[in-house]
Every structure is written in C-alpha cells, then in structure tokens.
Amino acid sequence: MASVWLRLVDVTVAEPPRTLTGFLHHEQSAAYGRITAMPHPVYLVRHGQSQWNVRRLTQGQTAHPPLTDLGRSQSAAAAELIAADLDDLGLTAQRLVSSDLTRAVETAETIGARMLLTVDTDTRLREQHLGELEGRSYVETWAAAEEFDWSDPTLPIAGGESLMDVYDRMAAVLEEIDPAGVAILVSHGDAIRAAVAYLNGVKPHESDWVEVANGAVARIDGTIT
C-alpha cells in the first residue's frame, strides 16, 4: 500500500472567527483513493480573504464576493511560495484549475500571473452549497446548523449539498489529474477538507478537523492505490 502525505507549505491569516492553527502535516497509508500515481506534486490552495469573510457572512456557493486587499496579498504570497517550492524541486507547473466562484478565480488569476499560466475553471472545485444558510451571519448560521445531523454525510444541508456530494466531486477532480505534470487547484475550505479526507482514505464525517486558512497552500506528493 502506497503512502500519501500533505506537507505544510504556508499558513497565512485565517478568516474570522477562526484562529491561526495551521493547515496539515500528515503522513498515512490510504486505502480509499483510486489515484494510481502522482510522481509530480499537486498543490491545493484556499482562496484569499474575501469581503464576506470580513463581514462574517456564510458564503457557500455565493458567487460574487471578491477578495479584500489582504486576500490579494495572501494570493500573491501563495503564488510566491508555490514558485519557490517548485524551484527547489526543479519543476514547473503545467495546469492551474480554479473553482468558478469569484474569490477563487481572483486568487487563481494572481497565481497564474506569477506562473505564466491561464486559469481553467471547474465547478466541482466550488465550496459546499449551503442552501438557505448562504448570506446569513456566522452567528445565524451556527444557530441554524444545530438543527442538522452533521454525523450523517448524506444529509443535504439547508437545501444545499451533503458532505458526500462535496467529497465525491473533489475525489473526481483528484482522480482526473494528469500525473505527468504539476497541477495547482484553487478551491475552498470545506471542499479542501473533503479532499483531505479522501486522500486519507476516510469519509468526510470521519476525518479530523483541518484548519484551512485563507491563502493556505498544501502540497500533495506520492501515490494512492
């Protein structure tokens, strides 16, 4: 059984009300994934801080919130970190794919400008659709979320998606990555957590919580069988 590991590349300023606790440092055998080989790294990037992060509004798949000045700085920092990491590895990136939501696209465009790559979009990299919770304040969202059974990964949240919906689409993106080149994927906090669960060989509700700060970057190396 091959091993997979996600290495910490950067931790930047987390969105409120989260604290700066890092991303992930992990090495573990994985049995659930079906990626056959990853001889080149794949980078997972969370978008920079958005205006709705600052306003403490639940975004989900709300498309329009743009980045703040800090979010643009975080995106530029992520780009520099990936560039430096690739330089150390003697590699270059071949593909840059982003969620089509504005905050992710703006992050990806900054990375693309640094890497001389055009941005492709993939709706499967979107954040979890949170239905009626989207647009509510964090306080309202937390209160409403208590009505849902989060231990059931198949339960759609507030008329949106279930955790398994997000998990399955993120897994599909990872399975389709061309192992012959370096890919950069720009996505969102809960979607990246679902990807981490998949790579660890567990279902999303079984995975340990992973703090994914705005602008955080994780590098995936290895193989999953």
Please identify which of the residues 15, 106, 109, 127 carries the catalytic annotation: 127
3-state secondary structure the chain: CCEEEEEEEECCCCCCCCCCCCCCCEEEECCCCCCCCCCCCEEEEECCCEHHHHHCECCCCCCCCCECHHHHHHHHHHHHHHHHHHHHHCCCEEEEEECCCHHHHHHHHHHHHHHCCCEEECHHHCCCCCHHHCCCEHHHHHHHHCCCCCCCCCCCCCCCCCHHHHHHHHHHHHHCCCCCCEEEEEECHHHHHHHHHHHCCCCHHHCCCCCCCCCCEEEEEECCC
Please identify which of the residues 15, 40, 47, 161 carries the catalytic annotation: 47
Catalytic residue flag (residue 47): yes
Catalytic residue flag (residue 40): no
Q: Hey, which residues are catalytic here? A: 47, 127
